Chains A and B, each alone.
Chain A
Amino acid sequence: AQSVTQLDSHVSVSEGTPVLLRCNYSSSYSPSLFWYVQHPNKGLQLLLKYTSAATLVKGINGFEAEFKKSETSFHLTKPSAHMSDAAEYFCVVSYSGNTGKLIFGQGTTLQVKP
């Protein structure tokens, strides 16, 4: 079955320290991979998308993710956390032949401490 697993339900970092949110996906077919962020009482915003053009994908707000096929991983990183980064982050996969259908991970809550 097509699936995506976020390895941590909650991550806590101090402001100014690096962020690492981990994600693994099932490898039935070549997927498209995304990271979305959801701030409280708001909709989902796209952070970045893997398109197979490059394994290191740069997104908005200083986030980036690296696609590693051998590890079926797509971890999200940011060198220095900001208080405004506190939110719910979703790793998302879409497979060939599916339009409009995204498969979401369970989400990782990022807490940023001052």
Chain B
Amino acid sequence: KAGVTQTPRYLIKTRGQQVTLSCSPISGHRSVSWYQQTPGQGLQFLFEYFSETQRNKGNFPGRFSGRQFSNSRSEMNVSTLELGDSALYLCASSLGLENEKLFFGSGTQLSVL
């Protein structure tokens, strides 16, 4: 069974641009969650999608958005990039049950110059 796949692996953008990251969950998983990892703030929850609906949300500004498609693949978009958005963005998938373990992808390393 293939794991969680995130593309691209690395991205370099400049301030003010926007970026879209992609995540393909494990086959059969309907929940996709996104996390931001930085040296200063650690790992922080962005949002979770289940059956194409955002079901849970963290404390990030509206510049961070996402969506999920009918095949459970998910995209995350960040608009008007800021230097502080430089981070490793991790996607995780699961069946969507409460308190279950998540399976993580290797992440997309975003650098904003």
Tell me which of B31, B33, B48, B106 contacts A43 (CB under 8 A): B106
Q: Given A43-B90, A44-B90, A107-B42, does the pair A102, B107 have CB atoms closer than 8 Å? A: no
A100 touches B105 (CB 8 A): no
* Cross-chain contact B96 with A100 (CB below 8 angstroms): yes
Q: Which residue of B lies closest to A92 (CB)?
A: B43
**Does the CB pair A99–B48 fall under 8 Å?**
yes
A residues within 8 A CB of B96?
Answer: 99-100
Min distance, Cβ B15 to any Cβ of chain A, angstroms? 25
Contact A96 B45, beta carbon cutoff 8 Å:
no
CB distance from B85 to the nearest CB of A (A): 19
- Interface residue tally of chain B, by bracket? 20 to 34
Interface size on A, residues (CB 8 A): 25
Contact of A111 with B by CB under 8 A: no
**A100 & B50 in contact (Cβ 8 Å cutoff):** yes
Cross-chain contact of B105 among A36, A43, A104, A105 (Cβ < 8 A): A43
Q: A43-B4, A106-B42 are in contact. Are A100 and B55 (CB under 8 A)?
A: yes
Taking CB atoms, residues of chain A closer than 8 Å to B56 are 98-101
Give Cα A46 to B48, complex, Å: 19
Instruction: Determine whether the beta carbon of A34 is less than 8 Å from that of B101.
Output: yes
Q: Which residues of B contact A49 (CB under 8 A)?
A: 101
Whether A102 and B4, one on each chain, are in contact in the complex, defined by CB atoms closer than 8 angstroms, is no
Which residues of A are found within 8 Å of B97, using beta-carbon distances? 99
State the B residues within 8 Å of A (CB). 4, 31-33, 35, 42-45, 48-50, 55-56, 58, 90, 92, 94, 96-99, 101-107
- Interface residues of chain A, those whose CB is within 8 Å of chain B, are 32, 34, 36, 41-46, 49, 90, 94-107
Q: A100-B94, A101-B45 given. 8 additional CB < 8 A pairs?
A: A34-B101, A43-B105, A100-B32, A100-B92, A101-B33, A101-B48, A102-B102, A104-B42
